[in-house]
Every structure is written in C-alpha cells, then in structure tokens.
Amino acid sequence: MQKSSFRFLSVMFVVCLTASLAYGEGYTYKANKEHLGGNVTPTEAFQMIKKDPQHTFLVDCRTRAEYQYVGHPDGAYNIPIRFLSSKAGKKGYVEVDNPDFGKALREQFNPETDTLIIFCRSGNRSCKGCNEAIKVGFAEAKVFNMMGGFEGGKNKNKDSIYYGKRWAGGWKLEGLPWSYKMDTKLMYRPDVKKVMASTD
C-alpha cells in the first residue's frame, strides 16, 4: 500500500513540475500585435470548432516546412502568409510575403458563412493574417487571431531548463489534438493543384 501511494505521489509531483516549467508563474495570453478582428486562446479556438465544425476553420499561416515538420493542429488548413526563400539572412533563411494569401483564403473559405481562426508559431504573423482576411472581405466578427499560436511564446523563467525556448502557452502545450500527418485537402491548395496537374 505504501509503495503504491509513493508511486502516485511521485507521478503527481512530476506532473506538477512539468506544468510549472511549461507555464512558469501563471501564463497569460495576450495579442502580440494590434490587428483587426478578435482574439482567442487555443482552448477557446478548440471549443469554437467543436461548436460549429462546418463553418469554423483553423488557418495555419506558417510556412509549409513548419506545417509539415513541426506539426499542426488536427484539421488545420495551411495557407502561408510568407514563404521561406533560398536566400540566407542574419537569422536564417529570408522569408518573402505571399502575395496571394488573401486570394487563397477566398478560394478556400466562404466570407458569408465561415469563421476563420488564424494562427502561426507564436502569434505575430497571425495578426497580419487577420488584417489580410478582413481586407479581402471577411467580416471582423468572423476573423480571430489565436494567441500563443501553435508553439507558444518563449519561456522567460531564467531558472527553467526551457528558458528562451518556445515553452509558454500555445496549442501544442495545451495538449490539444495535433499531428504530423499531411492531408492534401488541408495543404496549401496551389501546391496540390500543381502536383495534380503534373500527374494528369
């Protein structure tokens, strides 16, 4: 009896320690930039989709590489707001704007009926994505920025082994459903069209 109690307490300690390392001293979501449209946390986004799955969609505006290799929420559509170029810069590969971001949103979704929840890695690009969605005809009341994004913000606790890493909030750390699985229905549509055209 004592051994099982000790095991239970040990497991609970590890769970609490992991939670404290992940969220530090009470992680609070906030929008990283000013933008049009609303803001939701990852959990709120998940609840919105469950409530109206036919008309509420997650739009992953990260690069194709992030979508594929870092993973993505189940059911998220990838429409990059920027592409990785082959040019190296001071912080890695230079990103270039996707001039067709708004057009791709309109081709994929219906501004009259659909609600878009736009997210990126931690909540910066998604703010611009909201502005672009509204610019092409989606109502402000139907466009939301998902604060914290997929990976969350950088951990600011200098005592944590996760300091400086993306370990504060976000879809993934909230334990919401995600995958590495690539579905052609959800991938960036112009890329899929090119593949289909080349196999005809």
pLDDT tens figures, 118-132: 999 999 999 999 999
| Chain segment 24-66, per-residue pLDDT in tens | 345 799 999 999 999 999 999 999 999 999 999 999 999 999 9
Checking if the pLDDT of 5 tops 90, the result is: no
Nearest one of 164, 162, 176 to 22, comparing CA atoms: 162
- Assigned superfamily of 30-199: Rhodanese-like domain (3.40.250.10)
| Chain segment 69-91, per-residue pLDDT in tens | 999 999 999 999 999 999 999 99
pTM of the model: 0.84
pLDDT, residue 23, reads 44
Mean pLDDT estimate for the chain: 89
Checking if the pLDDT of 11 tops 90, the result is: no
Checking if the pLDDT of 14 tops 70, the result is: no
Checking if the pLDDT of 190 tops 80, the result is: yes
Spatial separation of the C-alpha atoms in residues 95 and 86, rounded to whole Å: 9
* Residue appearing with tokens 């659909």: 114
Domain range annotation of the chain: 30-199
Spatial separation of the C-alpha atoms in residues 136 and 113, rounded to whole Å: 14
SS3 state at 31:
coil
